[in-house]
Structure 1
């Protein structure tokens, strides 16, 4: 989409709200470049501090849901910014009043990445290795995988930006940390990963690797322009994942993993949705999948997510989530 000719002469710059972290700034900068091309308007980044940025508490303890999002949404509704860029996995599943999810651009690699000492893969970590992650979802699956292979690892809750987390490994405090591959890719540090963890071992967070571009519903013209950044395949995939999360009535910090991907059947006409719920110690997991035609709409994608959630709940998923939060 080019749309350059539609830019009004002398129009003020569009204000893009973003968190202050290196990763958020990199992600927002990428979107800003695409919006400049699409609208012909200048875009300026407006840095906003969120509760999740200043709180020192464990993300799982403060609830995870929306802690990196609320301040940006408040700024949107107050007219202080024109649009915002979020990591989709941070967005609550409930649609907010007065805002519209204008675009979900093409997804980066959704997998998790291991950064380990001596370039080790997860399977090669020493017995009793200390692995840092702020995610109960990662803890549940990595502990389960280790148990099934006769390994013993200790998952350690950590917080902080990419530098801080990788620093735990380089300083020798931890043997490894697990981060989203998409984030490392976006800041040019994927080479520091010692392994990209297969989704068969650890399903990512719903929406991981995708960005969300949000604006006020009261500006339909901007929403239409931003829609040019939307990737339809990414949108139906993450919509199915987030529908699963919502139907399980789980927040962003719950130990739920999900990934929807196109099946390579020669025509890419089928979408497979995989989901997992587990206890953080890895002793119990409910892991299931469902395959259907690629959804033609958000409603069809949501229906796929709800169908898988019902199957997982019938297998005891809700009980596992309850155990994990105590």
Structure 2
């Protein structure tokens, strides 16, 4: 039996979250191919986060050309629109969608950080939420793998008081003990597609799709499709000024879905929230998009950033 060729980004985070997938596919033989040149990961000439697909183009090209059979993606970093010839064939069970605070000094939270504290992030979404929740906080722009950012935080002479990163990232790195606070989604709204690992195949490769489908979680797929509907309708991507999530609600035999989305200006001074609940996740997502549009959300992304957001 020919092994399944699995492609994943070569970052420590990516490899740690891909290893359990290889184990779960056993006894199907697999071989891992790490990709080092993703535009968003490069140490030099790193691609800006102002466009769609900066973490996925290299792997998708290899998938289309037949060099690999399966691509492993963090869904939030995957292209908003499916690439022609490719499909998201399986969604793994979702992890914790919340962001978290990691601090230089133990025992702190967003509420107890001192006035003027320096918090590092490269995310427009996080920076905007912090400006709204704690306008006194200074935002330091910092990109790179979470492990690299942690080294900067912990380094001697560091002027950074804390980082805001994904909770699931810290857990996948085995560093949950470093989390100072798991931040409520009401304070920092997660990115659409947060904490979901998706497996992508060629659309016509039914044999591979059958082999990986046993890893698929239907509930996660429903939430993922609702969130990607918001992205597509509102014109978002991984670092656009747009956030949101879908949650599944069970009450007896009745299942409903709540979709929340938040659009904000890049300077973090204005945010518009919408939330709807319904029995169909995708229809509920469309209703949220309509409500955001009615409230003027489509114009917020065009607001030029001010000095305070840099």
TM-score, normalised with respect to structure 1 = 0.88
Q: Is 1:75 matched up with 2:65?
A: no
Structure 1 stretches of 5 or more lacking a match? 1-10, 296-300
Q: Give distance in 2, aligned partners of 1:166 and 1:266.
A: 44
Q: Give distance in 1, aligned partners of 2:89 and 2:149.
A: 32
User: Equivalent residue for 1:141?
Assistant: 129
Q: Is 1:41 matched up with 2:28?
A: yes
Residues 22, 308 of structure 1: alpha-carbon distance in 2 compared, 3 angstrom cutoff? same
Higher normalized helix content (fraction of residues): 1
User: Equivalent residue for 1:129?
Assistant: 117
User: Equivalent residue for 1:252?
Assistant: 238
The correspondence for 2:173, drawn from 177, 187, 193, is: 187
Shift of 1:13: 1.6
Q: Is 1:157 matched up with 2:141?
A: yes
The correspondence for 2:8, drawn from 13, 18, 34, is: 18
Q: Give distance in 2, aligned partners of 1:308 and 1:270.
A: 15
Residues 58, 157 of structure 1: alpha-carbon distance in 2 compared, 3 angstrom cutoff? farther
Query: Residue by residue, what CA displacement relative to the aligned partner does 1:264-294 show, whole Å, maximum 9, x if unpaired?
Result: 545561211111111233211101101011x
Q: Give distance in 1, aligned partners of 2:305 and 2:65.
A: 35
Q: What is the SS of the residue equivalent to 1:306?
A: helix
Structure 2 stretches of 5 or more lacking a match? none
Q: Give distance in 1, aligned partners of 2:43 and 2:21.
A: 27
Q: What is the SS of the residue equivalent to 1:122?
A: coil
Is the contact between residue 115 and residue 195 of structure 1 (CA under 8 Å) also seen in structure 2?
yes
Is the contact between residue 74 and residue 196 of structure 2 (CA under 8 Å) also seen in structure 1?
yes
User: Equivalent residue for 1:322?
Assistant: 302
Q: Give distance in 1, aligned partners of 2:160 and 2:250.
A: 38
Q: Is 1:117 matched up with 2:104?
A: yes
Q: What is the SS of the residue equivalent to 2:204?
A: coil
Q: Give distance in 1, aligned partners of 2:119 and 2:46.
A: 16
Q: Give distance in 1, aligned partners of 2:66 and 2:145.
A: 29
Q: What is the SS of the residue equivalent to 2:23?
A: helix
Count of residues in correspondence between the two structures = 302
Q: Is 1:176 matched up with 2:166?
A: no
Cα RMSD (Å) of the superposition? 1.8
Is the contact between residue 286 and residue 312 of structure 1 (CA under 8 Å) also seen in structure 2?
yes
Q: Give distance in 2, aligned partners of 1:247 and 1:197.
A: 27
Residues 226, 324 of structure 1: alpha-carbon distance in 2 compared, 3 angstrom cutoff? farther
User: Equivalent residue for 1:3?
Assistant: none
Q: What is the SS of the residue equivalent to 1:124?
A: coil
User: Equivalent residue for 2:268?
Assistant: 282
Q: Is 1:313 matched up with 2:293?
A: yes
Shift of 1:27: 1.2
